[in-house]
């Protein structure tokens, strides 16, 4: 799935012919949107919390689901302030026990991942769609089996928006985030990253 989204994201940086009508449709406006996305990168989980002992191995594995809401407020010709709130979950699996034996079983509990991101979004008009990209800083919260961790991080997003009416638009995007988890439970890594492909609907005012 990642290989499908990456070429689509790269097309945002290719020059395309624009018209005056499409340029007007792509001008920054106050907007509120909602999206459904996928969490696609495994998250290392504290092995003791996952039940495999201090020297075991456990990860949030597979693909998780995430819901998000976002808003933008224009501040210049092609620029907007952006804020986004997302929440999702991924299943956790034991992979190696404390004695070094490999196992493969789910713990039955999910790690929850929440994020609040704020940053700058840049828009540009295409022939039939609007391309946009953004850079954001954020606060990320990881929760698992009663242990929660709040850490700072950063993210980048690229996307395409297709106007469907005077005020509504369909969009697809890919977000990449990195959180500074510093080996703190419930994670077991210095940095935790994720790649989030998403599709959603945006109301523009």
CATH, residue 56: 2.40.160.20
Distance, CA of 88 to chain centre: 10
pLDDT number for residue 166: 77
Q: Is the pLDDT at 15 greater than 90, yes or no?
A: no
Separation CA 125–CA 115 (nearest Å): 29
Q: Is the pLDDT at 67 greater than 90, yes or no?
A: yes
Q: Is the pLDDT at 128 greater than 90, yes or no?
A: no
pLDDT number for residue 109: 96
Average pLDDT over residues 154-170: 92
Distance, CA of 45 to chain centre: 19
Distance, CA of 59 to chain centre: 18
Phi first, then psi, for residue 11 (nearest 5°) are -65, -20
Residue 8 domain boundaries: 2-204
Average pLDDT over residues 67-82: 96
% residues pLDDT > 70 (the chain): 88
CB count in 10 Å sphere of residue 117: 24
Average pLDDT over residues 109-133: 93
pLDDT number for residue 9: 46
- Per-residue burial over 163-198, b = 16 or more CB atoms within 10 Å of its CB, e = otherwise: beeeeebebbbbbebbbebeebbbbbbeebebbbbb
137 vs 8, residue with greater confidence: 137
pLDDT number for residue 62: 86
Average pLDDT over residues 47-72: 95
How many residues make up the chain in this entry? 205
Our count of domains for the chain comes to: 1
Q: What is the pTM of this model?
A: 0.86
43 vs 128, residue with greater confidence: 43
* Residue 190 contacts residue 50 (beta carbons within 8 Å): no
Mean pLDDT of the chain: 89
Average pLDDT over residues 133-158: 98
């Amino acid at each position: 799935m990642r290989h499908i989204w990456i070429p689509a994201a790269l097309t945002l940086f290719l020059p395309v012919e624009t018209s005056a009508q499409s340029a007007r449709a792509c001008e920054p406006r106050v907007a509120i949107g909602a999206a459904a996305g996928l969490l696609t990168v495994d998250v290392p989980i504290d092995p003791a919390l996952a039940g495999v002992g201090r020297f075991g191995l456990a990860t949030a594995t597979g693909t998780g689901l995430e819901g998000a809401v976002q808003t933008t407020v224009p501040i210049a010709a092609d620029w907007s302030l952006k804020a986004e709130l997302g929440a999702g979950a991924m299943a956790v699996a034991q992979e190696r026990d404390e004695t070094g034996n490999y196992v493969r079983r789910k713990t039955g509990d999910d790690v929850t991942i929440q994020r609040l991101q704020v940053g700058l979004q840049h828009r540009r008009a295409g022939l039939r769609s609007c391309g946009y990209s953004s850079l954001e800083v954020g606060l990320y919260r990881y929760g698992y089996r009663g242990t929660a961790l709040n850490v700072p991080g950063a993210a980048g997003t690229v996307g395409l928006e297709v106007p469907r009416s005077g005020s509504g638009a369909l969009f697809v995007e890919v977000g990449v985030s990195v959180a500074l988890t510093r080996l703190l439970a419930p994670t077991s890594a210095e940095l935790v990253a994720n790649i989030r492909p998403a599709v959603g609907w945006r109301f523009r005012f």
